[in-house]
Amino acid sequence: SDLELNYQVAEIYRVQKNEKQSVVYYTRVLHVAAPGDFRSSYYRGNALWKLALHYVAVKDPELAAAYALQFLQEHPESLGARYLLGAGVYFENGQYNQSLPHLLRLDRVSPAARKDAGIDNARMQFMIGQMLMMRFDPRAITYFSRCKDKNSLAEQYWLLLTDQSVHSFRPLLEFIRNHPEHLPSRVALLYLLKRNNTKDYAEELINVSELAAAQKQWDTGWKVIQIARDLKSSNPDLPIAWFDIHRLAGLHLTELDQPHRALIQIEKAIEAGDKDQVWKDESDRASFIEQLAALYSNPSIRRMDDARSILQSQLKKMPDRADTYISLGFVEWKDHRLPQALEALQKGQSLQPDRIEYRLVLSMLQSEMGDLKNAEAGYKEVLQKRPDLAPALNSLGYLYTQQGVDLENARALIERAVTQDPANPAYRDSLGWVYFQSGDYLQARFHLEMASTLMQSRGEESPEIYEHLGDVYEKLGMTLAALEAYRNALKVNHGPAKRPEPWSTEIQKKIDRIKGNSK
């Protein structure tokens, strides 16, 4: 528990190039750093920075992002940390949407300040240019113009975007040949094909949209498929299918959290699929019906009867399709009709008893319904077949934690899940909560802060994580931080993550209690 000793041991291991042990001790620094203490803040900041650098080096972008984000929260003016996060973590791992805001913020800083922070300005300009090009943003031209004299690929991009005549695009084509999954260069190729061959251009639009989907670059994929849609509308004979256009549009819009527009596209995809007979078999079409039902039951749409209707119609055609029963179970679950959800999930699981993910989902529902005995039995059944299945390990451990029983075993189960997926915010939350229940509030704080940071870096929202964070802050006497966490919990309590009442009432009571105690 000696803060300084743990830090010095970590430094010695780092100098000796024993990275594994240095990481253990830097992490211990974070475990024991007391809140609100200046000396703790110094060691904590250094440990966060060293851990961020380590996880960049071993190419673990989620943990690198978590530590870099925590460092930035405590040192928001650090240019080096922002560059590490924007360039070293996000851009180099293809997380362009997360990278761009950080690099644009750095671009507003004076060149002299960037130089003093050790930032490679030409490299940064090139990265920003590529990300803007992927969004078909004309500002990309400006950024490429700033670095084209030092970078042949930047020069190629600049020439394409400014529509200049060029003798050869060999550097670009060779780069794509060697790096076919490099999304920025594939977008640049679209500019080249648009000049020369409408047929190849149209086909490449579909290919790039597929690539963007595979890399979870939904903004780029959506912009590209819109171009394909407009091109097909003006050239109906082009060899690209309306089915693929609507299918990809629906996928990108779903992930961009635009369910109303996604719903229209999936409906059109089914219509086009029926018209052009693209289905490989009945199961292929059924999977689109299940996608459509998920959109109908989206919290912002809530066409629950329509979702039930299309799934029940599908079951009349394919009464033994387990996936459709599972989809129906999720619809009923979202509509808070838990007995009906249980019936549908049990039917789906009975049709395919070897699908352990079905048994896992069924156990989660049983847990929510308060049937803890059957939930526990289900988790154990899953773990007998797959002893290292992280979701089951976490769920069983959290079940024990919520009951306040067998906490040692609960922690062991959850730690096994965290070891497999250390950047999973739900697993970190569970581990933090079991430490909280055991009275180890500093360990709880470490894991719950990590859960919160990971959650935010993924663009997710969990009122429960914020509640747990507020609870540990309150125990540590960090009342302002606790208030902020509880308020965040209420703020994000909507959509699929919404907690049933009287949850929000209880959170408000916690806020009122803290405010009353501070008067």
Give yes or no for a contact between 10 and 47, defined as CB atoms under 8 angstroms apart. yes
Give yes or no for a contact between 428 and 447, defined as CB atoms under 8 angstroms apart. yes
In the predicted structure, residue 495 carries a pLDDT above the cut 80: no
Burial of 130 (0-12, 13-18, 19+ CB in 10 A): buried
Q: What percent of the chain has pLDDT over 90?
A: 83
Where b means 16+ CB within 10 Å and e means fewer, 180-209 reads eebbbbbbbbbbbbbeeeeeebbbbbbebb
Whether residue 108 is contained in a domain is answered as yes
At 13, which amino acid appears? Y
Domain region containing 51: 1-119
Tell me what the pLDDT averaged over the chain comes to: 93
In the predicted structure, residue 34 carries a pLDDT above the cut 80: no
* CA 460 remoteness from chain centre: 7
What number is the average pLDDT over the span 15-42? 85
At 372, which amino acid appears? L
pLDDT at 516: 83
pLDDT at 503: 86
In the predicted structure, residue 491 carries a pLDDT above the cut 90: yes
* Sole residue written with tokens 């994000």: 492
- How far is Cα 277 from Cα 288, in angstroms, rounded to an integer? 14
Q: What is the pLDDT of residues 344-367, one digit of tens each?
A: 999 999 999 999 999 999 999 999
Whether residue 88 is contained in a domain is answered as yes
pLDDT at 149: 94
Whether residue 93 is contained in a domain is answered as yes
List the beta strands (DSSP E) in 119-173: none
- How far is Cα 266 from Cα 268, in angstroms, rounded to an integer? 5
**Could you give the 3-state DSSP secondary structure of residue 460?**
coil
What number is the average pLDDT over the span 384-404? 96
Counted residue by residue, the chain has a size of 519
* CA 335 remoteness from chain centre: 25
* Sole residue written with tokens 């808070």: 336
In the predicted structure, residue 1 carries a pLDDT above the cut 80: no
Give the total number of structural domains in the chain: 1
- How far is Cα 495 from Cα 491, in angstroms, rounded to an integer? 11
In the predicted structure, residue 196 carries a pLDDT above the cut 90: no
pLDDT at 353: 92
Nearest to residue 109, comparing CAs of 133, 139, 76?
Answer: 76
CATH code for the domain of 5: 1.25.40.10
Question: 102 vs 519, which has greater pLDDT?
Answer: 102
Half-sphere exposure of 370 (CA within 13 A, CB side): 1
Whether residue 28 is contained in a domain is answered as yes
Whether residue 330 is contained in a domain is answered as no
Where does the pLDDT of residue 74 fall: very low under 50, low under 70, confident under 90, or very high at 90 and above? confident
Minimum mean pLDDT among 23-37, 348-362, 418-432, 441-455: which range?
23-37
> Which among 40-49, 60-69, 309-318, 453-462 has the top mean pLDDT?
309-318
Where does the pLDDT of residue 17 fall: very low under 50, low under 70, confident under 90, or very high at 90 and above? very high
pLDDT at 238: 94
Q: What is the pLDDT of residues 169-192, one digit of tens each?
A: 888 999 999 999 999 999 999 999
pLDDT at 287: 97
pLDDT at 164: 85
Where does the pLDDT of residue 148 fall: very low under 50, low under 70, confident under 90, or very high at 90 and above? very high
In the predicted structure, residue 507 carries a pLDDT above the cut 80: yes
pLDDT at 227: 97
Q: What is the pLDDT of residues 98-134, one digit of tens each?
A: 999 999 999 999 999 999 999 999 999 999 999 999 9
Where does the pLDDT of residue 519 fall: very low under 50, low under 70, confident under 90, or very high at 90 and above? low
Whether residue 17 is contained in a domain is answered as yes
Whether residue 102 is contained in a domain is answered as yes
Q: What is the pLDDT of residues 214-269, one digit of tens each?
A: 999 999 999 999 999 999 999 999 999 999 999 999 999 999 999 999 999 999 99
Whether residue 381 is contained in a domain is answered as no
At 419, which amino acid appears? T
